[in-house]
Homo-oligomer: A and B are copies of this chain.
Amino acid sequence: MLSEKEIQDKLKTVKGWERMGNAIEKKFKFKDFVEATAFLVKVGFAAESMDHHPDITWSYSRVTLSLTTHSANGLTQKDFDLAQKIDQIG
């Protein structure tokens, strides 16, 4: 698990992610449902390849991704690696 200092430093390396307790969260808004689907399919491929998966809420064109490492009960490097990957996607 990352220390508070490490978390604060790493938050500066990702775009638009907010700290929410044990997780970091980012909200996305797309043109429509189809565009949101396309984004989530790409996120899904990244998540599978990293064996680390976001928690997702999805309502039509609005998607919220939440990253945490359940097994560590907190934030780890894996969360920030996936956040950076997602930042490259959309």
- A residues near B (Cβ < 8 Å) are 33-34, 37, 40-41, 44, 47-48, 53, 55-60
* Whole-angstrom CA separation of A48 from B40 in the bound complex: 16
A59 engages B48 (CB within 8 Å) = no
Stoichiometry, copies per complex: 2
B56 engages A57 (CB within 8 Å) = yes
* Whole-angstrom CA separation of A79 from B20 in the bound complex: 33
A47 engages B59 (CB within 8 Å) = no
A48 engages B34 (CB within 8 Å) = yes
Chain B residues with Cβ under 8 A from A60's Cβ?
53
Of the residues B37, B47, B48, B57, contact of A44 by C-beta under 8 Å: B37
Chain B residues with Cβ under 8 A from A40's Cβ?
40
